[in-house]
Structure 1
Amino acid sequence: MSRKLSPSRVTSPASASVEPSTPRATRTGRRVLAGVVTSGVCLCLATVPASAADVPPVVSRGVTIPAFYTPPAELPAANGALVRTEPMSLGLAIPGLDGRPMPGTATRLMYRSTDSAGQPVAVTGTYIEPSAAWTKSGPRPLVAVASGTMGQGDQCAPSLALEHPLTLTGDTVSVGYEALAVYRILATGAAVVLTDYVGLGATDRLHTYANRLDQGHALLDAARAARKVPGASVTAASPTGLYGYSQGGGAAASAAELQPGYAPDVPVVGTYAGAPPADLTSTMKGIDGSALAGALAWSVSGFAQADPDLRAVVEANINDTGKAALKDASTMCVGDALLGYGFTKSSKWTVSGKSVAEVIAADPAAQQALDKQRIGNLTPAGPVRVATGVHDDIVPHAQARQLAVDWCRKGANVTYEPVILPNLGDKILTNHLVPLITDQGNAIDWLSDRLSGKPAVSDCWSMPLQP
């Protein structure tokens, strides 16, 4: 049986009939999606498999997922509580002169969080104790990093990408590009904890791509879990920063505004939200037909699993081609998706020939469900820095800027940074990725200042003047 779906959760003969010998793309938790889009069955995801010993290893597109990632039958009562840890190697680490690895010592984590349905969920990630000293004022701080888009297959987990920066098999292309930001943060002397998000890594369910509650909770609970890692130098008093770009920018932004109600014990002193997908309706339109069109499949799959209203729309409106694409993409990493579904238009996946965004817009309940994912309806904790490329057409610039405006109207301390570059090509990812690199140093410097206690000066007053 698959780890993504335990026998106790199967409520449909159709989904239970998958043979153990079938390929990974159909025998894992992606069967959750297969059951949703083919039989209309509602599957309950509140429990987790008994133990790693009860199920065979998960092999996702030729990559065997370590048994560490299988959640236990019972989870701790408190959010952020550690389930288990183990030492972890960093793929790009080098020996230091003092014998300690550079840039730090890594620990693999599994911890408890709460999903968007209010149910306990196991989340995995990595804590890195830096080799560099924190030389600024105050205790060593912690930065909770939310990764950019990695994919939906278990093998795409950010923690695995830190361990294996480049994975090339016959079926998988995975690049650990987030290591650049992580290592730059570690070089400042701040500790880092990186979340794998809900269902990416931990093998009990499908990754709920771009779900604001799942992502925000997972990031905040990663910060809680980091304090409990044996040997960690960070404590409950350590100033905490949130950092993310693209999918990670949305997660960081969500965590910042959820923190006052969900995790008031996490002392968030600053948040960097780069290119945040704050409005998924707009973002779906940007992704559709782009080089990253596979990410639209991940969004549809994740929300079909988590939200009954959106699930009903998927069941009624996705055609056989779309169902096959959703199932296939659900085991892919970014590299696979670029090669397999780059520039695909979602109109090929629907019964009506309309785009997925148009299908959702035509159903009030589904549109309302998507609107609940909007970031910007709450006031974030501490100062925030929102940066977005002015020509970003994948995660559209206008909706990211609107997030800054929404927060400004709520009285938040917002630093808005439009990254002004020439148009580098429509729908080919360059307008989205280049600002990540060109602004990264400034983003980390800004966050480091917040971690050392320097106040941030809001530039909300300038918003009418900024592009």
Structure 2
Amino acid sequence: MSPRTVMSAVMLVALLIPAQPARAEQAGAAVPVPAFYTPPATLPAADGALIRTEPLPLALSLPGIDGTLPGRATRIMYKSTDSTGGPVAVTGAYLEPAAPWPAGGARPLVVLAPGTMGQGDQCSTSLALERGLIIGTENDQLTLSVGYEVLAIYRLLIRGIAVVTTDYPGLGTTDRLHTYVNRVDSGHAVLDAARAARILSGISSQPIGLYGYSQGGGAVASAAELQATYAPDVTVTAGYAGAPPADLAEVVGGIDGSELAGALGWSINGFAQSEPALRPILDRYLSDAGQTALTRLSTMCVGDAILAYAGKRSSSWTVGGKSMTEVIAAEPALEEFITDQRIGTRRPSGVIRVATGVFDNLVPHAQARAMVADWCDRGGRVVYAPVVLPWSASPLLNHFGPLLSDQPLAVDWLGRRLAGSPATSNCP
């Protein structure tokens, strides 16, 4: 892949949001993570309980008559439960809009599950809301992080909808590694973010929506499946799951060798964090080059991972030159872990709009559509929306294009559901 193609992809993302005025920690210096993100030794017992909060200055805001536009933000840390059943501290941000809710009744809340940000703590969405574009160094390597989720967040805020966004376990918080695309960790974090936001806002009964694309789409889909058993008190009215990585076995093959090949490293690191018994298996296959890549990727954001690892094949990280797809197929424990991550095996709560680009070959279109079919077979209420854009030689653009083109429709659809307008499933 040519440097021009890689840089074009990075610049496309970077142009979405302006950088905050330069500060010493963002320009050429280390990128620090505030002390807020270090969890306390003891966590509350209740899932969704607030651990700490503080005002969150927004990189992109305007003065208004009664406060800043589009709203007031609060950085939050709350308690959740991870995939092992243990307690985990998760950070995020709650944003109260300046705009009124025009439909009457309690102001609705949307939990925004971010797309891929990276695995370094400096990559978290809550920090990106404060800093906008982060350029600096982390562990003697370039770090580049863009707060692209601000587009969807602000579109919701100007409609008078409150937003809470989660950073997911281990992204931002300094006590563990981010468990990238872990189905249970991300689903729990989304549902507990809703609980935390209700405590902070003081609104105990309100329509709740879920919104996410790519990694976020998988988190939303997982949360919709887990709601009935994990968080029956969080009634989901509707959700948007864009390009969800529902079947990781298929997604691994799509990402391998693409511009976002670094995400394979985040996945492997996350698997070993969630299930330590997998570490010896992975160590048998990983070469010195593979171990070095995983260590470097563990502190990278999506921008620097694209620059460093675009086009890389996982076969260059293994001792015998096997791809990660081949390694997974050869190891029953790995295959079982990947199978357990599959989304589509449980009926989702609420009505869920699933959109995916028909030419998406990064997070393959077919596996997302298969999740929809599985949900329909289980009696789920699903609105499936294929997104047709011109095919590109760049898998990243095939994946990223639908995020931008479908976002206004997705936000409008979700807003109408939260205002009480019904939606008809198109499963038939």
How does the TM-score come out when normalised to structure 2? 0.91
Tell me what 2:108 maps to: 141
The answer to whether the aligner puts 1:228 opposite 2:199 as a matched pair is yes
What's the offset of the Cα at 1:410? Answer: 0.4
Tell me what 1:344 maps to: 312
2: CA distance, partners of 1:189 / 1:328: 41
Tell me what 1:52 maps to: none
Within-5 A mapping of 1:20-419:
62-96=30-64, 98-170=65-137, 171-229=142-200, 232=201, 235-419=203-387
Q: Residues 94-134 of structure 1, C-alpha deviation per residue, up to 9 Å, x if partnerless?
A: 101x1310010000000000000000000000000000100
1: CA distance, partners of 2:159 / 2:354: 21
Alignment length, in residue pairs?
397
What's the offset of the Cα at 1:245? Answer: 0.1
Q: What SS does the aligned partner of 1:227 have?
A: helix
What's the offset of the Cα at 1:204? Answer: 0.3
Q: Residues 244-283 of structure 1, C-alpha deviation per residue, up to 9 Å, x if partnerless?
A: 0000000000001100000010121001000000000100
2: CA distance, partners of 1:213 / 1:306: 10
What's the offset of the Cα at 1:61? Answer: 8.1
Amino acid at match of 2:256: D
Is the contact between residue 309 and residue 369 of structure 1 (CA under 8 Å) also seen in structure 2?
A: no
Q: Percent identity?
A: 60
Q: What SS does the aligned partner of 2:167 have?
A: strand
Is the contact between residue 147 and residue 245 of structure 1 (CA under 8 Å) also seen in structure 2?
A: yes
What's the offset of the Cα at 1:180? Answer: 0.3
2: CA distance, partners of 1:310 / 1:254: 23
Is the contact between residue 123 and residue 197 of structure 1 (CA under 8 Å) also seen in structure 2?
A: yes
1: CA distance, partners of 2:229 / 2:274: 22
Q: What SS does the aligned partner of 1:197 have?
A: coil
* Unaligned residue ranges in structure 2 (runs of 5+): 1-27
Q: What SS does the aligned partner of 1:228 have?
A: helix
> Which one of 417, 421, 425 corresponds to residue 450 of structure 1?
417
2: CA distance, partners of 1:166 / 1:85: 23
2: CA distance, partners of 1:201 / 1:173: 15
What's the offset of the Cα at 1:308? Answer: 3.7
What's the offset of the Cα at 1:306? Answer: 1.0
What's the offset of the Cα at 1:395? Answer: 0.3
Amino acid at match of 1:228: I
2: CA distance, partners of 1:99 / 1:365: 57
What's the offset of the Cα at 1:327? Answer: 0.1
What's the offset of the Cα at 1:449? Answer: 1.3
What's the offset of the Cα at 1:309? Answer: 4.6
Q: Residues 147-198 of structure 1, C-alpha deviation per residue, up to 9 Å, x if partnerless?
A: 0000000000100001011011142111100000000011111100000000
Q: What SS does the aligned partner of 2:118 have?
A: coil
Is the contact between residue 145 and residue 195 of structure 1 (CA under 8 Å) also seen in structure 2?
A: yes
2: CA distance, partners of 1:413 / 1:342: 38
2: CA distance, partners of 1:247 / 1:165: 20
Amino acid at match of 1:298: W
The answer to whether the aligner puts 1:437 opposite 2:404 as a matched pair is yes
Q: What SS does the aligned partner of 2:232 have?
A: coil
1: CA distance, partners of 2:394 / 2:88: 38
1: CA distance, partners of 2:155 / 2:103: 16
Q: What SS does the aligned partner of 1:194 have?
A: strand
Tell me what 1:420 maps to: 388
1: CA distance, partners of 2:66 / 2:377: 51
1: CA distance, partners of 2:259 / 2:184: 27
Amino acid at match of 1:372: D
Amino acid at match of 2:118: G
* Unaligned residue ranges in structure 1 (runs of 5+): 1-59, 462-467
2: CA distance, partners of 1:329 / 1:131: 38
After alignment, is 154-163 or 170-179 more displaced? Answer: 170-179
Is the contact between residue 146 and residue 243 of structure 1 (CA under 8 Å) also seen in structure 2?
A: yes
Q: What SS does the aligned partner of 1:90 have?
A: coil
Tell me what 2:20 maps to: none
Tell me what 2:9 maps to: none
Q: Residues 31-60 of structure 1, C-alpha deviation per residue, up to 9 Å, x if partnerless?
A: xxxxxxxxxxxxxxxxxxxxxxxxxxxxx9
Tell me what 1:44 maps to: none
How does the TM-score come out when normalised to structure 1? 0.84
What's the offset of the Cα at 1:236? Answer: 2.1
Is the contact between residue 62 and residue 172 of structure 1 (CA under 8 Å) also seen in structure 2?
A: no
Tell me what 1:50 maps to: none
What's the offset of the Cα at 1:291? Answer: 0.1
Amino acid at match of 1:346: S
Q: What SS does the aligned partner of 1:124 have?
A: strand
Is the contact between residue 144 and residue 219 of structure 1 (CA under 8 Å) also seen in structure 2?
A: yes
Q: What SS does the aligned partner of 2:401 have?
A: helix
2: CA distance, partners of 1:424 / 1:257: 33
2: CA distance, partners of 1:380 / 1:189: 26
2: CA distance, partners of 1:83 / 1:324: 35
